[in-house]
Structure 1
Amino acid sequence: QAGTPEQPYYTNSSQLPVGFTDDPFDALERQEALQTKYTGGTVLHLYMGERLSSGTACRELVKRSLTRFRLPYITVTPTFSICPQHGYLAGEHPFCPKCDEERLAEKRRRQQLQAA
Protein backbone atom coordinates (compact mmCIF):
# COMPACT_ATOMS: atom_id res chain seq x y z
CA GLN A 1 0.00 0.00 0.00
CA ALA A 2 1.08 3.55 -0.66
CA GLY A 3 -0.44 6.99 -0.28
CA THR A 4 -1.59 8.25 3.09
CA PRO A 5 -3.56 6.60 5.92
CA GLU A 6 -6.59 8.61 4.78
CA GLN A 7 -6.16 7.76 1.08
CA PRO A 8 -4.22 4.52 0.65
CA TYR A 9 -3.72 2.87 -2.73
CA TYR A 10 -1.96 -0.17 -4.14
CA THR A 11 0.99 0.08 -6.47
CA ASN A 12 2.75 -2.32 -8.82
CA SER A 13 5.79 -2.18 -6.57
CA SER A 14 6.91 -3.37 -3.17
CA GLN A 15 9.91 -1.06 -2.89
CA LEU A 16 10.43 1.22 0.08
CA PRO A 17 9.32 4.81 -0.57
CA VAL A 18 11.98 7.08 -2.05
CA GLY A 19 14.10 8.61 0.71
CA PHE A 20 12.72 6.18 3.33
CA THR A 21 16.20 5.38 4.70
CA ASP A 22 19.81 6.36 4.02
CA ASP A 23 21.03 3.10 5.57
CA PRO A 24 21.42 0.32 2.96
CA PHE A 25 21.39 -2.38 5.65
CA ASP A 26 18.12 -1.03 7.07
CA ALA A 27 16.62 -1.26 3.57
CA LEU A 28 17.94 -4.81 3.13
CA GLU A 29 16.54 -5.88 6.49
CA ARG A 30 13.13 -4.36 5.81
CA GLN A 31 12.85 -5.85 2.31
CA GLU A 32 14.27 -9.34 2.93
CA ALA A 33 11.07 -11.06 4.08
CA LEU A 34 9.06 -9.73 1.15
CA GLN A 35 11.59 -9.80 -1.70
CA THR A 36 12.55 -13.43 -1.08
CA LYS A 37 8.94 -14.51 -1.71
CA TYR A 38 9.14 -13.53 -5.38
CA THR A 39 10.17 -16.17 -7.91
CA GLY A 40 11.85 -13.66 -10.21
CA GLY A 41 11.89 -10.15 -11.54
CA THR A 42 12.78 -8.54 -8.24
CA VAL A 43 15.71 -6.32 -7.38
CA LEU A 44 16.40 -4.07 -4.41
CA HIS A 45 17.99 -0.79 -5.44
CA LEU A 46 20.35 0.56 -2.79
CA TYR A 47 20.32 4.28 -3.55
CA MET A 48 23.44 5.77 -2.03
CA GLY A 49 23.65 9.47 -1.20
CA GLU A 50 26.84 9.73 -3.25
CA ARG A 51 29.48 7.55 -4.82
CA LEU A 52 31.29 5.03 -2.66
CA SER A 53 34.89 5.77 -1.75
CA SER A 54 36.32 3.00 -3.95
CA GLY A 55 35.59 -0.12 -5.94
CA THR A 56 36.75 -2.12 -2.94
CA ALA A 57 34.17 -0.39 -0.71
CA CYS A 58 31.46 -1.24 -3.24
CA ARG A 59 32.62 -4.86 -3.44
CA GLU A 60 32.53 -5.15 0.37
CA LEU A 61 29.04 -3.63 0.53
CA VAL A 62 27.76 -6.13 -2.05
CA LYS A 63 29.55 -9.02 -0.34
CA ARG A 64 28.14 -8.15 3.11
CA SER A 65 24.67 -7.61 1.64
CA LEU A 66 24.54 -10.95 -0.15
CA THR A 67 26.13 -12.81 2.77
CA ARG A 68 23.89 -11.40 5.51
CA PHE A 69 20.61 -11.28 3.56
CA ARG A 70 18.78 -13.65 1.21
CA LEU A 71 17.70 -11.15 -1.42
CA PRO A 72 18.40 -12.53 -4.90
CA TYR A 73 19.42 -9.29 -6.65
CA ILE A 74 20.61 -5.86 -5.57
CA THR A 75 21.94 -2.80 -7.30
CA VAL A 76 24.20 -0.15 -5.81
CA THR A 77 23.15 3.18 -7.26
CA PRO A 78 25.07 6.32 -6.30
CA THR A 79 23.22 9.62 -6.48
CA PHE A 80 25.08 12.34 -8.35
CA SER A 81 24.53 15.43 -10.44
CA ILE A 82 26.33 16.84 -13.46
CA CYS A 83 27.11 20.53 -13.93
CA PRO A 84 27.89 21.57 -17.53
CA GLN A 85 30.79 23.69 -16.23
CA HIS A 86 32.11 21.70 -13.24
CA GLY A 87 31.19 18.12 -14.17
CA TYR A 88 30.56 15.47 -11.51
CA LEU A 89 28.95 16.58 -8.24
CA ALA A 90 28.54 14.06 -5.42
CA GLY A 91 24.91 13.82 -4.26
CA GLU A 92 21.76 15.37 -5.69
CA HIS A 93 21.93 19.07 -6.52
CA PRO A 94 19.18 20.94 -8.37
CA PHE A 95 21.75 23.72 -8.90
CA CYS A 96 25.54 23.55 -8.94
CA PRO A 97 26.89 24.74 -5.57
CA LYS A 98 30.15 25.82 -7.25
CA CYS A 99 28.34 27.95 -9.83
CA ASP A 100 26.08 29.40 -7.14
CA GLU A 101 29.11 30.31 -5.01
CA GLU A 102 30.79 31.96 -8.02
CA ARG A 103 27.63 33.97 -8.74
CA LEU A 104 27.30 35.04 -5.10
CA ALA A 105 30.96 36.09 -4.98
CA GLU A 106 30.51 38.15 -8.17
CA LYS A 107 27.37 39.77 -6.72
CA ARG A 108 29.25 40.68 -3.51
CA ARG A 109 32.10 42.20 -5.57
CA ARG A 110 29.63 44.35 -7.53
CA GLN A 111 27.89 45.48 -4.33
CA GLN A 112 31.24 46.44 -2.78
CA LEU A 113 32.18 48.43 -5.91
CA GLN A 114 28.84 50.25 -5.88
CA ALA A 115 29.20 51.04 -2.16
CA ALA A 116 32.70 52.49 -2.64
Structure 2
Amino acid sequence: MVTSYSKKSSEHVKIAKSHIDKLFSQADEVFSEDTELADRYVDLARKTAMKYKVKLKSEYKRKFCKHCYNYLRAGVNCRVRTQSGKLVYTCFSCKKFSRFPLKK
Protein backbone atom coordinates (compact mmCIF):
# COMPACT_ATOMS: atom_id res chain seq x y z
CA MET A 1 0.00 0.00 0.00
CA VAL A 2 1.48 3.31 -1.10
CA THR A 3 1.25 6.19 1.32
CA SER A 4 1.03 9.77 0.18
CA TYR A 5 3.05 12.39 1.99
CA SER A 6 1.62 15.85 2.32
CA LYS A 7 3.45 18.83 0.88
CA LYS A 8 5.12 21.05 3.46
CA SER A 9 3.95 24.65 3.64
CA SER A 10 6.16 27.33 2.14
CA GLU A 11 6.58 28.89 5.59
CA HIS A 12 8.09 25.66 6.93
CA VAL A 13 10.35 25.34 3.90
CA LYS A 14 11.70 28.89 4.37
CA ILE A 15 12.42 28.19 8.03
CA ALA A 16 14.13 24.90 7.10
CA LYS A 17 16.36 26.63 4.51
CA SER A 18 17.45 29.29 7.00
CA HIS A 19 18.09 26.58 9.62
CA ILE A 20 20.26 24.65 7.14
CA ASP A 21 22.24 27.82 6.33
CA LYS A 22 22.84 28.45 10.03
CA LEU A 23 23.92 24.86 10.67
CA PHE A 24 26.50 24.90 7.88
CA SER A 25 27.90 28.26 9.01
CA GLN A 26 28.14 26.97 12.59
CA ALA A 27 29.87 23.81 11.37
CA ASP A 28 32.42 25.98 9.55
CA GLU A 29 33.09 28.05 12.70
CA VAL A 30 33.32 25.08 15.08
CA PHE A 31 35.40 22.77 12.86
CA SER A 32 38.81 23.92 14.09
CA GLU A 33 37.85 23.31 17.74
CA ASP A 34 35.57 20.27 17.60
CA THR A 35 35.24 18.18 14.44
CA GLU A 36 32.60 15.87 15.91
CA LEU A 37 30.31 18.81 16.61
CA ALA A 38 30.79 20.02 13.02
CA ASP A 39 29.84 16.53 11.80
CA ARG A 40 26.75 16.64 14.01
CA TYR A 41 25.70 19.99 12.50
CA VAL A 42 26.05 18.52 9.01
CA ASP A 43 23.95 15.52 10.07
CA LEU A 44 21.22 17.80 11.44
CA ALA A 45 21.25 19.90 8.25
CA ARG A 46 20.90 16.78 6.08
CA LYS A 47 18.03 15.43 8.16
CA THR A 48 16.26 18.79 8.07
CA ALA A 49 16.61 18.93 4.28
CA MET A 50 15.23 15.40 3.92
CA LYS A 51 12.32 16.04 6.28
CA TYR A 52 11.18 19.18 4.48
CA LYS A 53 12.18 17.94 1.00
CA VAL A 54 14.60 20.82 0.45
CA LYS A 55 17.49 20.44 -1.98
CA LEU A 56 20.86 21.33 -0.54
CA LYS A 57 22.83 24.00 -2.39
CA SER A 58 25.72 22.69 -4.45
CA GLU A 59 28.19 24.57 -2.23
CA TYR A 60 26.83 22.66 0.78
CA LYS A 61 26.95 19.31 -1.00
CA ARG A 62 30.70 19.73 -1.46
CA LYS A 63 31.24 20.45 2.24
CA PHE A 64 30.49 16.94 3.50
CA CYS A 65 31.38 13.39 2.55
CA LYS A 66 28.56 11.49 0.85
CA HIS A 67 29.66 8.21 2.41
CA CYS A 68 30.46 8.96 6.06
CA TYR A 69 28.77 12.41 6.31
CA ASN A 70 31.83 14.09 7.86
CA TYR A 71 32.29 17.82 7.41
CA LEU A 72 35.13 18.36 4.92
CA ARG A 73 37.78 21.06 4.84
CA ALA A 74 40.34 20.89 2.05
CA GLY A 75 43.84 20.07 3.26
CA VAL A 76 42.71 19.15 6.76
CA ASN A 77 40.54 16.06 6.40
CA CYS A 78 40.13 15.79 2.63
CA ARG A 79 42.13 16.11 -0.57
CA VAL A 80 40.87 18.05 -3.59
CA ARG A 81 42.24 17.28 -7.04
CA THR A 82 41.22 18.00 -10.62
CA GLN A 83 40.95 14.98 -12.87
CA SER A 84 39.75 15.12 -16.48
CA GLY A 85 37.21 17.90 -16.04
CA LYS A 86 36.08 16.93 -12.55
CA LEU A 87 36.88 17.96 -8.99
CA VAL A 88 37.66 14.89 -6.91
CA TYR A 89 37.23 15.15 -3.13
CA THR A 90 38.91 12.29 -1.23
CA CYS A 91 37.83 11.88 2.40
CA PHE A 92 40.63 10.86 4.77
CA SER A 93 38.32 9.19 7.31
CA CYS A 94 36.52 6.72 5.01
CA LYS A 95 39.01 6.78 2.07
CA LYS A 96 36.19 7.22 -0.45
CA PHE A 97 35.88 9.97 -3.02
CA SER A 98 33.21 12.15 -4.57
CA ARG A 99 33.38 13.66 -8.05
CA PHE A 100 31.87 16.98 -9.06
CA PRO A 101 31.92 18.40 -12.61
CA LEU A 102 33.93 21.54 -13.29
CA LYS A 103 31.99 24.36 -14.90
CA LYS A 104 33.20 25.49 -18.30
- Bin the TM-score by the shorter chain: under 0.3
Greater relative contact order: 1 or 2 (C-alpha under 8 angstroms, separation 6 or more)?
A: 1
TM-score (norm 2): 0.28
TM-score (norm 1): 0.26
Higher Rg of the two aligned structures: 1
